[in-house]
Amino acid sequence: MFIDFEGIDGSGKTTLSNLLAGRLKKLGYRVAHAREGGELRSSTARRVRELTRDARLLEMSTRAEFFLNLARDAQQLEEVVAPALSRGEVCITDRYLYSQLALSGGGRGLPLAELRPACELASQGLWPDLVILVDVDPDLARLRKRLGKAQSDRSAESDSRKGLAGAGLAVRTREAFLALAREDPRRWLILENNDVPLRVLEQRLVDAVVARLEGRDTPVQRIVPSPIAPPPPGPVRVEQVEEHFFQTLDAVELREPALALWLLDGLPGLAAHQRRLDFVERFPSLTARGLQGLDDDAAWSLREVLAPLAPLQVASGLTGLMSPRAAMMRERLYVHAPAEVLQGLKADDSPQAWALRERGMRDGRLAAVLLGLAGMDSEESWVVREAGMSRGLHAEVARSLGGLSDARAEALREVLLPHDRLAVLRGTLGLDTPVARGLREALADKALKLVLRSLTGLSSRESWALRERSAHKTKEALDSVDGMSDPRAWKLRVAHANRWPATVLSSLRGLPLEPETRLLMERILETHATRLPVLRNAYSVIATAATLDARGWVSRPGRPAVEPPSQQMEV
């Protein structure tokens, strides 16, 4: 029997497919998993996959990507799948040719009628007996992916080629998978992976697959395990958001405790702080990461506790903080987390910051010093950049130019363009310069996510035109209006509230809870309050507004509302 697992990135298909393989082996079945442990068994297929994921290959066309993906699957078929089936084994794949139809057709927009014959050729007529689509809310999948990166200390800014297209690609790909399942309901089984424990999903999956293996037909196409927490009765009002969010968080903690903690990332206020305390012993590193941008007494007390346990994460969470407390903490942490301390000095021109940079230079940490130079235009900073250029640290130098728009910075960007266009683009956040405009125009169809993110806080005619042109494709158009009270930002939010509800809510963070804000929040909650990312972002808006109100801070039209910008959770 040939069993294929499909689903968007972060859906859990790799985990579930490996769990199924293990359970079937224990039941006495001979099983071959073509991607056991998350790694393709064919070395040739692995090398092809590296090409399709390489974000540096910006010129790779959608059709070229499709044919490379076909080559990967054809090699797996020849080398792993067909031999296993000929031996009478149960063969499990984690992605097959359906992924190419969903990604290149639904996601990238190539005509399905042109893709199907090529897939038939690659398949040699061999298609799965059972396709298990692990279906998940794309916002939740993205949260789980980012959590995975945090737990493995991978950079949150590392993108594959798919990642560069923006979050809308996963939404369109998911819709295409569901359409394929509707076309062939006898072959496809849909397993929802939103709000139940993994052990429950695993057992339901094993039961369904064993029934097929034993010839017991099952008419159920969609397996929807009962959620632990029932949905709220009726619409959720703004005043009820805190209660519903923490009730939902309790249910999440039972099945995915690390995710429950991750949902508290950057949330201000006593309620979030009290919840973090419950996680300190189990997840010190994640707890420390969740303090990013928080500057209240409770956060600082918790940093003191966590500094010996998770120095790298505590140091990373100091980015954007320039108080005497932050300076003292950096001094203490430098010996344990020098790179994180140095990278977190962005926009900090204090004598203490420069003393740390000089120490970093003496210690041979030029790359980290450069990454913490954003916003610095002193002669000392330019000397460091010259040293970076002489050593070929082009990406780091490009990122060091963040926040600078003068002629000197623009000239250096021109020099850096042939070396690393994506790094140069990342260093133009919020800038309206000739190089920034040229890059956005050149890369809009190759790295839309980064292009839109670079617009954050901009109110130029070109920036609004690009947002309006792209908002139906991907959520990052809304990310770029975070905290903005410009009428055009409001128009964009209202127009796309149903398509990107969680992101529209996160874009309100830092705005006061005035009638316009409350009305839009309640409109979204009326339809989407059962979606965890939506509820989390609604609470974030409320908690942040309360904190800013307590400080007497007022948002200004056309400007990002949180200054300096905190690293908000991407959902």
* pLDDT over threshold 90, residue 226: no
Among left, alpha and beta (phi > 0; psi -120 to 50; other), residue 404 is beta
Omega before 501 within 30 of 0, i.e. cis: no
pLDDT score for 229: 56
Average pLDDT along the chain: 91
List the chain domain ranges: 2-223
- Residue 60 token pair: 């790779």
Q: How many CB atoms lie within 10 A of CB 20?
A: 23
* pLDDT over threshold 80, residue 127: yes
- How is residue 240 annotated by DSSP? G
CA 481 to each of CA 119, 134, 455, 461, 539: distance values in angstroms, whole numbers, following the listed order: 41, 32, 8, 14, 19
Q: Rounded CA gap, 553 and 12, in Å?
A: 42
Across 144-156, average pLDDT: 81
Nearest one of 533, 502, 550 to 270, comparing CA atoms: 550
* pLDDT over threshold 80, residue 125: yes
CA of residue 213 relative to chain centroid, distance: 37
pLDDT score for 160: 84
pLDDT digits (tens, 9 = 90+) for 166-225: 999 999 999 999 999 999 998 999 999 988 888 888 998 999 999 999 888 666 677 776
Q: What angle do CA 265, 267, 269 make, to 5 degrees?
A: 145
The number of residues making up the chain comes to 571
Contact call for residues 16 and 202 (beta carbons, < 8 A): yes
pLDDT score for 555: 42
pLDDT score for 105: 97
When mean pLDDT is compared across 3-7, 147-151, 269-273, 449-453, the lowest value belongs to: 147-151
Euclidean distance between the first and the last CA atom of the chain, given in angstroms as a whole number = 37
* pLDDT over threshold 80, residue 155: no
- Residue 385 token pair: 């950049």
How many Å is the Cα radius of gyration of the chain?
25
- Classify domain 2-223 at the CATH topology level: Rossmann fold (3.40.50)
Per-residue confidence band for 158, with pLDDT thresholds at 50, 70 and 90? low
Residue written as token pair 């409109």: 523
* pLDDT over threshold 70, residue 227: no
Q: Rounded CA gap, 303 and 314, in Å?
A: 6
